[in-house]
């Protein structure tokens, strides 16, 4: 009798572990959760993705400041200051929504300034659109976007900033680039 109870306990324990393993292997989560936390196909957390759902669209001819509500400074950005917004990491991302990608001529102009010399790489939806070195205030970056690179829905401008550094004034942010405005054509 003791052997039967022992075997039944072992079988129950194996069934429990199998159930737990199945849950771990195939969790019942939302697609946004899976894309961000499990497969890492998205750079936006589920909370950020939900907030972006209500973003108004960017339109051709828009001149947008660093405080524009149609832009989501999604990752790697500091708070908005009076005239600009600094990056706060070596990678930063701006997300915006477009309704009609065909309406755009394929041009984005950014007005920026830098903390010293900075190497800057920018991609739109994963496609490189700029690589260069910048230094100084009121610099213009002209991004030429190939046809088909804008997409209906959310678009992401990603900045790679390998030379970001802490300023020598006690500021604890990791600074590279300060965005003043973006123009969409």
pTM over 0.95: no
Residue boundaries of the structural domains of the chain: 2-31, 55-184
Give the pLDDT of residue 34.
Answer: 74
Can you tell me the mean pLDDT for 96-123? 95
Pairing status of strand 63-65 against strand 177-184: antiparallel
pLDDT in tens, 4-36: 788 888 888 888 887 777 776 777 777 777 767
Confidence of residue 145 (pLDDT cuts 50, 70, 90): very high
How long is the chain? 185
Confidence of residue 52 (pLDDT cuts 50, 70, 90): low
- Residue 143 CA from chain centroid, whole number: 18
Superfamily of domain 55-184, CATH level 4: Galactose-binding domain-like (2.60.120.260)
Exposure string for 19-40, b = 16+ CB within 10 A, e = fewer: eeeeeeeeeeeeebebbbeeee
């Amino acid at each position: 009798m003791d052997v039967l109870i022992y075997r039944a306990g072992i079988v129950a324990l194996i069934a429990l572990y199998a159930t737990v393993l199945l849950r771990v292997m195939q969790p019942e989560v939302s697609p946004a959760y899976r894309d961000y936390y499990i497969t890492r196909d998205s750079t936006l957390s589920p909370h950020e993705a939900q907030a972006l759902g209500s973003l108004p669209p960017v339109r051709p001819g828009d001149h947008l400041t660093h405080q524009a509500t149609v832009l989501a400074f999604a990752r790697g950005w500091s708070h908005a200051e009076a005239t600009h917004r600094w990056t706060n990491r070596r990678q930063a991302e701006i997300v915006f929504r477009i309704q009609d990608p065909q309406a755009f001529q394929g041009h984005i102009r950014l007005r920026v300034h830098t903390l010293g010399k900075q190497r800057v790489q920018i991609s739109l939806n994963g496609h490189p659109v700029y690589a260069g070195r910048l230094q100084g205030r009121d610099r213009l970056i002209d991004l030429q976007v190939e046809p088909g690179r804008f997409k209906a829905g959310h678009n992401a401008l990603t900045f790679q900033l390998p030379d970001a550094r802490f300023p020598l004034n006690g500021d604890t942010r990791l600074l590279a680039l300060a965005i003043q405005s973006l123009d969409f054509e």
